[in-house]
Amino acid sequence: MLTDRRPILLANARVIDPSRDFDAVGDVLIADGIVRETRRGIGAAGVPEGTDIVNCSGKIVAPGLIDMRAFVGEPGFSHRETFATASQAAASGGITTIICQPDTSPVIDNSATVDFVMRRARDTAIVNIQPMAALTKGMRGEEMTEFGLLKAAGAVAFGDIYHSVMNAQVMRRALTYARDFDVLIVHDTEDPNLVGEGVMNEGEFATRLGLMGIPNAAEAVVLERDMRLVALTGGRYHAASLSCIESLDVLKRARDAGLAVSASVSINHLALNENDIGPYRTFLKLSPPLRTEDDRRAMVAAVASGLVDVIMSDHNPQDVEVKRLPFAEAASGAVGLQTMLPAGLRLVHNGELELKTLIKAMSTRPAEILGLPGGTLRTGAPADVIVIDADTPWVLDPVDLKTPCKNTPFDEARFSGRVVRTIVGGRTVYEHV
């Protein structure tokens, strides 16, 4: 790993910058931790002395990815993930900023815990870490957290990860305060009563496997309620993880009505469907569950059209002890920091998404929604930059995953394309050799 901060010229690359609708062959000059220039023909003569000149012919240079949903186990669950291991996995996957989730122990619901997270990340991580704070105290859905204090401490958004706030009055107040404090509410839309004992998507396949199903309505009903509360309050709202056609219909109506709403989908729900579960593969037990192929294709089309703004990893490391169980008893979740981009490139190679659209959903839009300075190669922007070889073939070996937990749904999957260099703040933090 290189850590010096010499100027870097990424030369002769296909430069993709969705923030400027830019996609052309050119050079990117990085110095003093920022992007100095992006254009064609900078050349060796136009760079500072001692610049590291990297020939990127045949490769892609893009803004570093921003992952809006990744679990990091500090504090309380460091056996599952630490800032050090998560950041190493992120760097090798082209992710330069992680939004860590609040479901730690203790929960990130006060300014002291936010401060701990930011200090710990600063001391041990090699990528940027931004904390999401809990929407309600203890994520119990009963009493709001202190939005103003938490925002001042460094929280970039508020959400009760994997928990829907079922009390509509609490949610209404949260959205009202979000409007007044100009903060973003990130909400998981899943009615626990409709989920019940369900463990996978409701339908014929679940019946064949003899497993209890989760209906699409469990997601769409909560989202519909939330859209009405957004209309009532004017708060900013982000649907944390959509998965089905019914939810897209609700989202489109809200957008057409001019509401300030956005949405994410996990890469798992774009690249996989319920049939991939096969013979009870617990590494594919997720929340929300993998849906039908029709749902998957609809979600991809929603990303392509811009209806769904963000693709995130939904990185959720789980121990062997809670995954190597019968499907109905196993914990939900999959690791995804290192596979988010390679799995996304599958959609590019098979013609379902344009590469610029993929980068926009993984980088530029998350930055815009969260108000972060990344997601762009504009002059003066932070030098969080990645170099991608979009065509190199490789096979995922779980042994190579940098996270302590190996619960990947892409075990031994064949990919075409990977990150070959990740630059954070002008420093190369990962280089594939």
Pairing of strands 385-395, 414-424: antiparallel
Indicate the Cα dihedral angle 20, 242, 232, 183, nearest 10°.
Answer: -50
Query: Whole-angstrom Cα distance, residue 340 to residue 267?
Result: 6
8-state DSSP, 162: T
Provide the phi-psi class of 428: left if phi over 0, else alpha when psi is between -120 and 50, else beta: beta
8 A C-beta contact, residue 301 and residue 265: no
Exposed, middle or buried, 45 (CB in 10 Å: 0-12/13-18/19+)? exposed
Cβ neighbours, 10 Å, residue 392: 13
Query: Whole-angstrom Cα distance, residue 376 to residue 374?
Result: 6
8 A C-beta contact, residue 102 and residue 159: yes
Helix (H, G, I), strand (E, B) or coil at 226: helix
Provide the phi-psi class of 419: left if phi over 0, else alpha when psi is between -120 and 50, else beta: beta
Catalytic annotation on 314? yes
Tokens of 157: 């958004």
Tell me, what amino acid is at 198? G
| Residue count (the chain) | 433
CA 312: distance to chain centroid?
A: 2
Cβ-count burial 165-186 (b if 16+ within 10 Å, e if not):
beeeebbbbbbbbbbeeebbbb
Peptide bond preceding 75 in cis form (omega within 30 of 0): yes
Tell me, what amino acid is at 362? M
What are the φ and ψ backbone dihedral angles of 128, each rounded to 5 degrees? -75, 135
Query: Whole-angstrom Cα distance, residue 397 to residue 81?
Result: 19
8 A C-beta contact, residue 247 and residue 219: yes
8 A C-beta contact, residue 387 and residue 419: yes
Select which of 109, 188, 191, 314 is catalytic: 314
Tokens of 122: 């600063």
Nearest to 385 by CA among 359, 355, 347, 348: 359
Would you name the residues annotated as active-site residues?
314
